[in-house]
Amino acid sequence: MNNYTETIAYLYSRLPMFTRIGPAAYKSGLGNITALCEHLHHPQKQYRTIHIAGTNGKGSTSHMLAAILQEAGYKTGLYTSPHLKDFSERIRINGTPVSQQAIIDFVQDHRLFFESLSASFFEVTTAMAFKLFADQQIDVAVIETGLGGRLDSTNIITPDLSIITNISLDHTDLLGDSLPKIAFEKAGIIKANTPVVLSERQTETEAVFNLKAKSEDAPVYFASDFYQAAGYERFNHFAKYHFHHQPEPITVACDLTGLYQMKNIAGVLTACDVLNEYGYMIHEDMIHRALSMVKIKTGLRGRWDLLQEKPTILADVGHNEGGLIETIQQLKSSGKKLHFVIGFVKDKDINKIITLFPKDATYYFCKPDLPRGLDVNELLQIASAHHLNGIACNRVSEALQKAKTQANADDIIYIGGSTFVVAEVL
């Protein structure tokens, strides 16, 4: 493996990768990541960390918080998954993906060890992120969980703050078939005497988080106790989010424009307040500047991403019930003719998700280009049974092209259903 292409091909082909093959690649437990980090001399202990879990919103929250920490002068690592276009997106320092050479060197130096463990793709990439952050002597890393929390490979860090964004039904075969069961897994990132911010207060899960926090003597902060939604204005490339807040109301302009970001921003603002209590130096003007240019500072894509005007083309990675409900509500509230370019992966409850989509829209069904992708004809059959009218297309690009041909200038074309559908159009 002398070049980047060969190195990435090795990672994808030799290591079980959840995003490509699904639950068969999932390894629960912290044994392998513990062994990897011992082998690497515990790189995750060489800088401060902030740990973020949740069903929806953890990616946006991670990028917003990383942008703020960068603006506040901290050399900031950001570890997220999955990537959209290139593997290196998963590991960023001050918004810039780590170098291809650093990835090549890490794999060459440690391949024999992680092969001896039969380590998964995510275990190896987590260890890689920890090591590359240490090599670059960062100040703080924002670490997003991959799946769940309690048994997630990232859960060997001792963070300054934990953040849990939202709980919705997703990966129920691995995390549990109810909101409280899933919340129990996410609550696993709550550590002893370490504050935790909950971006959203949910009746079904609140007791789970309070119980875990109490057992760990961890201070709990529900964002809605400090920042209550008071209004939203969307423009083409930014939105204004208004909050009731003491001692005075606050308005934040952000270049992430989906209405669902209201809860995530409340969580981020609360997190900044808590971090300041624990010794960080994050001023209000830094927060405002950073949130106005999250995409520029961190490279985030795929969140209510405006790709074109006339017709409006939006791409969003929301792919489960909780994420899609709010997205579709916002689309319907526009009052415009809607066109959906959608595809899914096999391990989703498609029969349930498909009921969320409006019957008066036009659909262009497709299959994301990976082994987990749901066959487009099967998707068309399920959608037709739920009275959604559309056509099956061989590729995502073909589906988008047909939507462009059919849409009028005032219409909206929405691309989504799966992160991997969005990745193919960016």
Report d(CA 32, CA 157) in Å as an integer. 14
Altogether, the residues listed in the chain come to a count of: 426
Which one has a higher pLDDT value, 173 or 72?
Answer: 72
Report d(CA 151, CA 27) in Å as an integer. 9
Tell which residue, 135, 163, 110, 121, has the closest CA to residue 46.
135
Report the CATH number at residue 370. Answer: 3.90.190.20
Model confidence over 295-329: pLDDT tens digits?
999 999 999 999 999 999 999 998 888 789 989 99
Model confidence over 241-275: pLDDT tens digits?
999 999 999 999 999 999 999 999 999 999 999 99
| % of the chain surpassing 70 pLDDT | 94
- pLDDT average, residue stretch 338-367: 93
Shared domain check, 349 and 267:
no
230, 265, 298 - which closes a domain? 298
Tell which residue, 269, 277, 279, has the closest CA to residue 229.
269
Q: What is the DSSP letter of 244?
A: E
Shared domain check, 281 and 211:
yes
Shared domain check, 278 and 188:
yes
266, 298, 330 - which closes a domain? 298
> How high is the pLDDT of residue 178?
85
Which strands sit side by side in the sheet containing 305-308, from one edge to the other? 305-308, 312-315, 412-416, 338-342, 362-365, 390-392
Q: Is 376 left (phi over 0), alpha (psi -120 to 50) or beta?
A: alpha
SS3 percent helix, strand, coil of the chain, rounded to 5, is: 45, 20, 40
Q: Which of the residue ranges 15-24, 50-59, 90-99, 128-137 would you say has the lowest mean pLDDT?
A: 15-24
Shared domain check, 344 and 329:
yes
Shared domain check, 399 and 349:
yes
> How high is the pLDDT of residue 384?
96
Shared domain check, 112 and 11:
yes
Report d(CA 273, CA 291) in Å as an integer. 15
> How high is the pLDDT of residue 346?
86
7 exposure class (CB count in 10 Å sphere: 0-12, 13-18, 19+)? buried
240, 266, 298 - which closes a domain? 298
Report d(CA 216, CA 400) in Å as an integer. 49
Shared domain check, 329 and 291:
no
Model confidence over 201-232: pLDDT tens digits?
999 899 999 999 999 999 999 999 999 999 99
Shared domain check, 375 and 231:
no
- pLDDT average, residue stretch 130-158: 95
> How high is the pLDDT of residue 17?
55
> How high is the pLDDT of residue 352?
87
| % of the chain surpassing 90 pLDDT | 82
Please state, rounded to an integer, the average pLDDT across all residues of the chain: 93
Shared domain check, 145 and 210:
yes
Tell which residue, 144, 150, 146, has the closest CA to residue 184.
150
Report the CATH number at residue 46. Answer: 3.40.1190.10
> How high is the pLDDT of residue 147?
81
Report d(CA 40, CA 270) in Å as an integer. 34
> How high is the pLDDT of residue 23?
52
Shared domain check, 181 and 56:
yes
Model confidence over 280-304: pLDDT tens digits?
999 999 999 999 999 999 999 999 9
Q: Which domain holds residue 96?
A: 4-298
Shared domain check, 369 and 269:
no
Reported as a pLDDT band with limits 50, 70 and 90, residue 176 is low
How many domains does the chain fold into?
2
> How high is the pLDDT of residue 21?
46
How are beta strands 91-93 and 76-79 bridged, if at all? antiparallel
> How high is the pLDDT of residue 29?
75
Shared domain check, 311 and 293:
no
The dihedral over CA atoms of 193, 141, 263, 88, expressed in degrees to the nearest 10, equals -150
